[in-house]
């Protein structure tokens, strides 16, 4: 069974005003591609309200194999409330409240190689104790 150690948990950045949602999404996507993460969008929900107002919820996951034992995960959540389309310069943006939250964690023994037989799990525990992981 894999062991999970959180590096960052519950980090959130919020802004209220004019935000280029498409630009933010492209920036995040390009960063994950540049850093060679496997990236996928888990959820994309747009809830249309009255008079061109919408709420937005996007969940994204990215993962990267560090080695045969360790995998790094990033879970992102983009939430928008009361978003109205506005023109900002020549770009179509959204005015409202937007927050980006993320969790970063390390998954050790993600393939379960060190769980069985028992002596491998014992050696892994000793190694983690002495290595300080």
Predicted confidence (pLDDT) per residue in 11-64, tens digit: 999 999 999 999 999 999 999 999 999 999 999 999 998 888 899 999 999 999
Dihedral angle sign, alpha carbons of residues 110, 116, 122, 123 = negative
Q: Side by side, which strands form the sheet with 91-108?
A: 3-19, 91-108, 70-88, 54-65, 38-48
Q: What is the pLDDT of residue 124?
A: 66
Query: Domain count of the chain?
Result: 1
Mean residue pLDDT across the chain: 87
Domain enclosing residue 14, as ranges? 3-131
Task: Read off the pLDDT of residues 66-107 as tens digits, 9 standing for 90 and up.
Answer: 988 789 999 999 999 999 989 888 888 899 999 999 999 999
pLDDT of 133 higher than 60: no
| Exposure letters 15-50 (e unless 16+ CB within 10 A, then b) | eeeebbbeebeeebeeebeeeebebeeeeeeeeeee
**Rounded Cα–Cα distance for residues 67 and 129 (Å):** 19
Before 117, cis peptide (omega within 30)? yes
Q: How large is the greatest C-alpha to C-alpha distance in the chain, in angstroms?
A: 64
| Residues facing 60 on adjacent strands | 41, 76
pLDDT of 114 higher than 70: no
Among residues 59, 41, 126, 48, the alpha carbon closest in space to that of 99 is found at: 59
């Amino acid at each position: 069974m894999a062991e999970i150690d959180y590096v960052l948990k519950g980090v959130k950045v919020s802004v209220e005003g004019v935000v280029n949602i498409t630009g933010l999404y492209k920036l995040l996507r390009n960063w994950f591609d540049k850093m060679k993460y496997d990236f996928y969008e888990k959820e994309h929900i747009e809830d249309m309200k009255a008079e061109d107002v919408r709420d937005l919820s996007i969940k994204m996951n990215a993962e990267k194999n560090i080695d045969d034992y360790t995998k790094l995960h990033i879970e992102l959540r983009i939430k928008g409330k009361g978003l109205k389309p506005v023109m900002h310069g020549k770009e179509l943006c959204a005015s409202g409240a937007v927050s980006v939250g993320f969790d970063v964690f390390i998954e050790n023994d993600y393939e379960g190689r060190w769980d069985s037989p028992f002596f491998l799990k014992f050696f892994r525990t000793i190694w983690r104790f002495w290595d300080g992981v």
